[in-house]
Amino acid sequence: MRDFTLRHLMIAAALALLADPAAAHPLAPSLLEVVERAPGDVLVRWKTPAKRVPGSRLAPVLPPECTPGGDPIVRGGPTEVVTEWTLSCPDVLAGRTLAIEGIASSKAAVLLRVELADGRRLLHVLGPDDAGFVIPARQSRTAVARSYGGLGIEHILTGPDHLLFVLGLVLLVGGGRPLLWTVTAFTAGHSVTLSLAVLGYVHFPAGPIEVLIALSIFLLATELARRSPAPSLVSRQPWGMAFVFGLLHGLGFAGALAQIGLPSVDIPLALLAFNAGIEIGQLAFVAAALAAGAVAAPLVRLRPRLARLAPTYVIGSLAAYWVLERLAAL
Q: Give the tens place of pLDDT for each residue, 109-167.
A: 788 989 888 777 788 888 888 778 888 876 678 888 888 888 889 888 888 888 999 99
With beta carbons less than 8 A apart as the criterion, state whether 110 and 30 touch: yes
Cα(153)–Cα(162) distance, integer angstroms: 12
Q: Give the tens place of pLDDT for each residue, 276-286.
A: 998 899 899 99
15/40 same-domain check: no
Question: What's the total number of domains in the chain?
Answer: 2
Q: Give the tens place of pLDDT for each residue, 209-256.
A: 999 999 999 999 888 887 655 567 677 788 888 899 999 999 888 887
Domain range enclosing 102: 30-140
185/295 same-domain check: yes
Identify whether 204 is part of a domain. yes
pLDDT at 56: 62
Cα(66)–Cα(68) distance, integer angstroms: 7
Q: Give the tens place of pLDDT for each residue, 69-118.
A: 888 899 887 777 899 999 998 888 888 899 988 887 776 778 898 988 87
Q: Give the tens place of pLDDT for each residue, 19-67.
A: 444 444 444 468 899 999 888 899 999 998 876 655 567 889 999 899 9
213/322 same-domain check: yes
203/252 same-domain check: yes
260/320 same-domain check: yes
Cα(45)–Cα(80) distance, integer angstroms: 12
**Strand-pair partners of 33:** 45, 113
175/312 same-domain check: yes
* DSSP label at residue 49: E
Q: Which residues contact 291 (CB under 8 A, 6 or more apart)?
A: none
Cα(261)–Cα(113) distance, integer angstroms: 8
What whole-number percentage of the chain has pLDDT above 90? 16
Q: Is 203 exposed, middle or buried (0-12, 13-18, 19+ CB in 10 A)?
A: exposed
